Copies of this chain bind each other. A is one copy, B any other.
Amino acid sequence: MGKSVRETFRVPGELDLAAIDPRGRPVGPQDKAAAAGEMAELGSRLDGLQEALYAEATGGSPRAVLLVLQGMDTSGKGGVIRHVGGLVSPQGLQIATFKKPTDEELAHDFLWRVRRQVPIPGRIGIFDRSHYEDVLIARVDELVPEDVWRRRYTEIVQFEAELDAQGIAIVKCMLHISAKEQAERLIARLDDPGKRWKYNPGDLDARAKWPAYQEAYTEALRRTDTDAAPWYVIPSDRKWYRNWAIAALLAETLADIDPKFPKPDFDVDAERARLAASGVS
């Protein structure tokens, strides 16, 4: 065994996104068939761990997991929810999608809407976009002054430290795709009537600012990567590799949490006797 999956994808000290190959496969399966086999095994492991986490919460444990997904349009946030989230029972998931803030949301601090979506005990929360938009699009499109978005790095680190202290294991993934791959996926969305609804002309506006976004991501990842809430850069030009990598990260994180089935707060033998006496005909 070499480095763990978490060590492999963890954002390096001096992050340079251009130096990370979006088609890289630094660990794990090297082709789609191998990935399918590993996903089946990971799926049953994740499912068992998630069930134990859920069970543990019924006994009063506060622990939960929060998977944050960030990436350029078409990088595969929805695909991860479907193919990785789909590995566990939907009852164990709490999915939150963060779109353009509403007027009500804008009237509050930027973390207000995020706090409301923090996963409850026993759940794997998945954020489809997140509070990171407030240092990404907010910066690139100058939605707020620089001193405001700069201050947010610290606010985010504090917020995530709070969640960690509450018992929430945070896994932040940047889905790293190439501009070329994005172009191909956008063309596919335009060409396929079954995918066209996913296309948004605004995606091209963001695409036109690709270098500014890469810069904003780089600084955000550098400033908010902590041991309590680590960032992982996931090579995402290959969908099967992206899904495998995130499933493997989650499985490692959950194995580390090591959730335990709660001890019964009743007398098992006494209940067996009551049940035997409850002969409903």
Contacts and interface: CB of A to CB of B under 8 A. Distances in A.
Given A197-B59, A261-B194, A128 B91 contact: yes
A233 B281 CA distance: 20
Select the residue from A81, A86, A280 with max chain B CB neighbours within 10 A: A280
Contact of A90 (B58, B93, B182): B93
B187 A275 contact: yes
Contact of A85 (B90, B95, B179): B90
A93 B85 CA distance: 12
Interface residues of A, number: 47
A193 B263 CA distance: 9
A53 to B, nearest CB: 11
Interface string A247-281: 00000000000000110101010011011001111
A110 interface: no
A13 interface: no
A107 B271 CA distance: 34
Interface of A: 55, 58-59, 78, 81-82, 85-86, 89-91, 93, 95, 97, 126, 128, 179, 182-183, 186-187, 190, 193-194, 196-199, 201, 204, 207-208, 210-211, 261-262, 264, 266, 268, 271-272, 274-275, 278-281
